[in-house]
Each structure stands twice: as structure tokens, then as C-alpha cells.
Amino acid sequence: MPMLTNRRKEMAVAASLVAPFVLTFVVVFLYPTIRLVQLSFTNAPLIGSGEWVGFDNFIRLLSDRLFLTSLKNNGYFVLLTVVPTTAVALGFALMIRRLRGALQALALAIFFLPYILPVSVVTQIWTWMLDFQFGVLQPVIEFFTGKPVSVFKNPYWVMPTVAAVTIWWTNGFNVLLFIAGLRNISKDYYEAAQLDGATRRQLFTKVTWPLLWPVTALVLTLQLILQLKIFDQVYLLSSGGPFNSSYVLLLMVYREAFQLNHGGYASTIALVLFIIIAMLSVLQFQLLRAGGRR
Amino acid sequence: MKSVKKIENWVLTAGTFLAAALWIFPLYWAFITSIRSEERVVSDGAGILPDEINLTSYVDILWNTNLINWYINSIGTAIIITITVILSGMMCAYAISQMRFPGRRILYGVVLASFMVPSQALIVTQFILINDMGLINTWAGIILPQLIVPVVIIVYKQFFDAVPKEMREAVVLDGGGDYTLLFKIYLPLNWGITTALAIITFIMAWNQFFWPFLAVTTEDMMTIPVGITQVKDAFGVFYARLMSVALLGAMPVAVAYLIFQKKVTEAVMISSGVKG
């Protein structure tokens, strides 16, 4: 009998320990997820109830030009950011690793600092630097193109510029991951390779690159998922314009829900984004597990 | 051969400093702009070197905006989020790691799965929920959806799993229960990871833009990242003021980072799984 009450007591203690997280999770995460699926099959406004419309929203999505444009722009933004930011971060990490002591800490702080800035601070600074009339970077642009460019009002410049700003802002995180990865590579490999007379280039291609690959794969997949969720920078820098050339999925969710009052349709778009990202995350998880076993 | 290598080294170091200078330039330029007068900022003669110290725009921002309110809202909500996330995450991780109860595996599976779910996709239904609860324009409304940070549980579980079982015995022999074990043994053994997780949770909460932007409509309830976007609407395009408010908004976390640089570095590495 005492065994049983002990067991019951332990159960109660366990329940009280997990309760705060579980309750919050159910209310602000699980319930909204279920509501999202349910709403995506209705024509509900943002506030208030609507009617069940079956798969109408999903069918409408397929022929919605703005949705296809957004999807394409999300893809374009991923292309513009994921590999470039990974390459830049690896370069910076290799540079920082060469430095010693205080210089290393200083260089690391400089490359990491933008990452901890609020997004609106970042966008305000870059809006000013790229101001059509007074921006400090306009002479640079003029040097290459012959004339100043209003970058956030130009359909060709807008996405690459938002991508560049994003890389400046978030790159520090990737630099840190690469530095951690480089620290994990044992010095013995380098010493052995140097004894064999390996050049600097060979050290990189034969030792650093293959041993660093798990971290590189991690950075690439984390970035892929992160950059698909872009909203803040586009909203603050270009609001999706000009001519929808920087319109992305989350911006569409925001417009449909909060400006056009289409709660149901917005939920459908959000659900599609949700599924795309969830699938990529599962893929990433599998990939990392496979990488870890190797 | 030796001298070629020396030149190579020199070029690499110079390249590093050039890259660092370019990287810090936007912040330098924002600062230089913020200490100039509005007229000077847009005049032809304004070079890239500092040439005047004019604090008008800072004074103007402090007097004529809700900046102090935004600071209070940001600090208040970020602190509450940090404490709640760390405490609830630690308790849940302890139960998953050290106790046997039905549903334990499922619970951890749910935590891992929610790590992969994009919370941004939930904004519509979270907004409806918070609105139904009547919490728009309140701290509770800003805070609630930010309380789910699964990575805290995942990291704590790994660290609790690694605590040797012998550490438990003394407490158990004294008749101590699981709460005693958690707060007398497991937490003190993991202060390092706790501060690291707390710092990174605080920075994430402080910088959150999308959700507070939706959950708040009145200017006096805004947080720093949302509030500073209002300055443009209030003043029009006055860049010295815009840079002043941007730098004032960035200051607290930037200073915290420079003080706790090592901890922040460690926290980022641990929470992304490259170092454990």
C-alpha cells in the first residue's frame, strides 16, 4: 500500500512540474493550430464566425496570382540569402579564427552586434543609408550604375537589397556556429597535414571543409527555414512593393487577415506556409540525425 | 617561401580589418548622423567624419515621443517572458529527464515537434484568441504567445540527463522530494546554462517585432521595436531623429551584449546544438 501512495504522489508532483508549460502550450499553441486548420475551410472574417466552404480556399489559392507571386518571391529570397550568408559567415569565421586574444573578441563582437539589434533599428539605418537623395551609399551605387537608384521602389533592386540588409543583420549567428564548428576540429589534423607539406588551400579543402560539413549543413538548413518566414524586413523596407515585387507569403497572410478582414483565406495561406516549413524541418531533423551517425 | 607566407598573412589580416570596418560602418554612420543637426545631415558638406556634436535630436526624442513608455513595456514584458520561460521550461525538463510518468515520451515528442513549427504561421489564430480574451493592448497579450520556447526544454533536458545519479542520493535520504532535488541540486549545478538561456530568451523577447506589432494598437503600450517605427510617422523624414531613436532603442541590448559577450556566444552555440 505505501508503494502505491508513493507512486501516486510522484505522479502528482510530475503533473505539477509539467503543468505550467503544458497549460500554456495548449492555450497559445495547440488550440491556435487546431483553429488554423479549422478556419482554413471557412470564409470567416478576422473576428466572428463564417461558413464551412470545403476546399474552396485551397482551390482559390491555386489560381490566385498574388499567392503565386508571393511563393515565387519567397523562393527568390531564399536563393538570394541562404547560400550567400553561409559563404560570408564561413569566410568571417575563418578570418576571426586567425586572430588572437582581444583582437579576436573585438572582431567577433563587430560581426555579431547587428544580430542583436531589433529589426526596426536595422531597417531604419539602412533606409537612411540608401536614401535616394542623401543616402551615403548612393555615390557607390552611382559609381557602378551611372545614376542613383531608389532601391526600395525599384522592382529589380528591391529583393537583392532586402537580402543584403538581412545578411548584414543575421549573419553574426552563422559566424558563431562556424566558429564553434572550427573549434571542434582537433589541431592534430592540421599538424599532421602540415607535416605532409599541405598548402593553405589544401588544408581548407582536405581538412576544414569536410570536417566542418555537419555545421555547414546545419547553417544551410536553419537559414532555409528562417528565410522562408521573412516578413519584418519586407514590411518595414518596401511593404511588398513596388508592383508586388517583394510580396511574400507572410505579408499576404497579414494583409488578408488584418487589412482585408479575410480570416479564413488568411488561415489557408498560413496553413500552406506552416506545412512547407514543417516538412522542411522534418527533413532537416532527419538530415542532421544521419549526419550525426556518420 | 617564408616571406610569401608572411605577405599572405598580412593580406589576410588587412582583409579582416577591412571587412570588420565595412560591417560596423552602418552603426557608425547612424551614430554620426544622430549627433548632427537635421540641416547638417542633408547638407552637401556633410562628410563621413564626425564634425559636430549636436544632441538636439536626442533631447527632442526623449521629450516628444513615448520612448520612456516603450522602454518600460519592453523591459517589463521581456523580464516576465524570460522568468516564465526559464522556470516552466526547467520544471518540465526536470520531470521529463528524471521522473517516470505516463505520457512522458509523448510530451517530449510534442516539445521536439513544436520546435519545428513556425509560430509566425499562427499569428492569425493567436490574434483571434488574444482578442477574445480581451488582452489586446495589454502586457499579458504581448507576453502570452511568446511563452513557448521549446529549445529551453530541449537544452535543460540534455543537461539534467548528464547529472550523475549519485547526486540525488543525499537529498533522497534526507526525505527531500523532487522540488528539493530540482532547486537544491539540479538548478545550482546548471547555473551556467540557466544564465545563458535567460540572456538569449531576453534578447529574443526584446527584439520581437511581428507579434507585439499586431497585439498593440495604442502608442503608449508599444514595445521598443514597434514604437520606434512610429517616429517616422510623427516627424516625417528627419534622419538625425530617426537615427537617435534607433540607437536609443538598440542601446540596452547592445550594452548587455558587450558586457555578457562570452555568455551570449555560449548561449547561441548551445541552443543551436553545435556545442553541448
CB contact, 8 Å: B249 with chain A?
yes
Both B157 and B90 in one domain: the answer is yes
Both B47 and B139 in one domain: the answer is no
Query: Which residues in chain A have their CB less than 8 angstroms from residue B153's CB?
Result: 21
Q: Is B95 within 8 Å of A281 when comparing Cβ atoms?
A: no
Query: Which residues in chain A have their CB less than 8 angstroms from residue B41's CB?
Result: 134
Q: What is the DSSP letter of A81?
A: H
pLDDT tens figures, A63-107: 999 999 999 999 999 999 999 999 999 999 999 998 888 899 999
Q: Report the 10 Å Cβ neighbour count for B240.
A: 27
Residue of A113, A177, A271 with shortest CB distance to B272: A177
Query: Which residues in chain B have their CB less than 8 angstroms from residue A46's CB?
Result: 124, 127-128
* B 47-76 near A (Cβ less than 8 A): 48
Nearest-CA distance A247 → chain B (Å): 16
Q: Where are the alpha helices (DSSP H) in B35-173?
A: 38-41, 56-64, 67-98, 104-115, 123-132, 139-143, 150-161, 166-173
* B 156-215 near A (Cβ less than 8 A): 177-179, 182, 203, 206-207, 209-210, 214
| CB-based contact B66:B222 (threshold 8 Å) | yes
Angle at B166 between CA B164 and CA B170, to 5 degrees: 135
Provide the residue type at A171 as one letter.
N
Closest CA relative to residue A168, chosen from A201, A125, A199, A131: A125
Q: Tell me whether residue B276 is in a domain.
A: no
Closest CA relative to residue B229, chosen from B244, B208, B240, B245: B245
**CB-count exposure of residue B262 (10 Å: 0-12, 13-18, 19+):** exposed
Both B246 and B164 in one domain: the answer is yes
Domain termination residue (choose one: B26, B43, B59): B59
Q: Is the dihedral of CA B90, B94, B97, B101 positive or negative?
A: negative
* A 186-225 near B (Cβ less than 8 A): 200, 215, 218, 222, 225
CB contact, 8 Å: B44 with chain A?
no
Structural domains in chain A plus CATH codes? 64-293 (1.10.3720.10)
3 state DSSP class of A260: coil
Domain termination residue (choose one: B35, B59, B83): B59
Residue of B148, B209, B247 with shortest CB distance to A25: B148
Both B197 and B177 in one domain: the answer is yes
CB contact, 8 Å: B1 with chain A?
no
The structure's pTM equals 0.91
| pLDDT of res. A294 | 40
Q: Where are the alpha helices (DSSP H) in chain A?
A: 2-25, 31-39, 56-63, 65-98, 101-112, 119-129, 138-145, 158-183, 187-195, 200-202, 209-228, 232-237, 249-254, 263-293
Query: Which residues in chain B have their CB less than 8 angstroms from residue A108's CB?
Result: 261, 265
Q: Tell me whether residue B146 is in a domain.
A: yes
The tens place of each residue's pLDDT in chain A, 294 residues long, gives 456 677 888 899 999 999 999 999 999 999 999 999 999 999 999 988 888 998 999 999 999 999 999 999 999 999 999 999 999 999 999 999 988 888 999 999 999 999 999 999 999 999 999 998 888 999 999 999 989 899 999 999 999 999 999 999 999 999 999 999 998 888 888 888 888 888 888 888 888 999 998 889 889 988 998 899 999 999 999 988 898 899 999 999 999 999 999 999 999 999 999 999 888 888 877 776 665 544
**Closest chain B residue to A182, measured at CA:** B274
**Closest chain A residue to B92, measured at CA:** A18
pLDDT tens figures, B181-221: 999 999 999 998 999 899 889 989 999 999 999 999 999 99
| pLDDT of res. B1 | 57
Both B249 and B157 in one domain: the answer is yes
Domain termination residue (choose one: B37, B59, B81): B59
| pLDDT of res. B201 | 92
Q: Is B16 within 8 Å of A21 when comparing Cβ atoms?
A: no
Q: Is A274 within 8 Å of B144 when comparing Cβ atoms?
A: no
Give the helix/strand (H/E) hosting B196: helix B191-207
Q: Is A121 within 8 Å of B145 when comparing Cβ atoms?
A: no
CB contact, 8 Å: B85 with chain A?
no
pLDDT tens figures, B6-29: 888 888 889 999 999 999 999 999
Share of chain B above pLDDT 90, in %: 58
ipTM: 0.91
Sorted by sequence, the CB contacts under 8 Å of residue A181 that are 6+ apart come out as A93, A212, A214, A215, A216, B274
| Burial letters B114-141, b for 16+ CB under 10 A, else e | bebbbbbbbbbbbbbbbeeeebbeebeb
**Closest chain A residue to B48, measured at CA:** A136
Q: How many CA atoms lie within 13 A of B26 on its CB side?
A: 22
Both B210 and B75 in one domain: the answer is yes
Both B261 and B194 in one domain: the answer is yes
**CB-count exposure of residue B50 (10 Å: 0-12, 13-18, 19+):** exposed
Both B105 and B229 in one domain: the answer is yes
* A 84-143 near B (Cβ less than 8 A): 91-92, 95-96, 98-99, 105-114, 116-121, 124-129, 131, 133-134, 136
Taking the C-alpha atoms of residue B28 and residue B40, their distance in angstroms, rounded to an integer, is 17
Q: Tell me whether residue B173 is in a domain.
A: yes
Both B80 and B185 in one domain: the answer is yes
Sorted by sequence, the CB contacts under 8 Å of residue B183 that are 6+ apart come out as none
The chain-wide mean pLDDT, for chain B, equals 90
Closest CA relative to residue B94, chosen from B189, B213, B232, B223: B189
Size of interface A-B (CB pairs under 8 A): 255
CB contact, 8 Å: B117 with chain A?
yes
Q: Is A124 within 8 Å of B242 when comparing Cβ atoms?
A: yes
Share of chain B above pLDDT 70, in %: 96
Both B113 and B241 in one domain: the answer is yes
CATH number of the structural domain spanning residue B156? 1.10.3720.10
Residue-number span of the structural domain to which B40 is assigned: 2-59
**Widest CA span of chain B, in angstroms?**
78
Q: What is the mean pLDDT of residues B118-137?
A: 93
Taking the C-alpha atoms of residue A270 and residue A264, their distance in angstroms, rounded to an integer, is 10
| pLDDT of res. B169 | 85
Provide the residue type at A17 as one letter.
L
Angle at B189 between CA B187 and CA B191, to 5 degrees: 65
Which residues, in sequence order, are bridge partners of residue A52?
A42
Nearest-CA distance B265 → chain A (Å): 7
Both B145 and B254 in one domain: the answer is yes
Taking the C-alpha atoms of residue A198 and residue A282, their distance in angstroms, rounded to an integer, is 39
Both B131 and B260 in one domain: the answer is yes
Q: Give CA torsion, residues B101, B106, B110, B111, to 10 deg.
A: 40
Which residues, in sequence order, are bridge partners of residue A183?
none
How many folded domains does chain B comprise? 2
Taking the C-alpha atoms of residue B103 and residue B234, their distance in angstroms, rounded to an integer, is 53
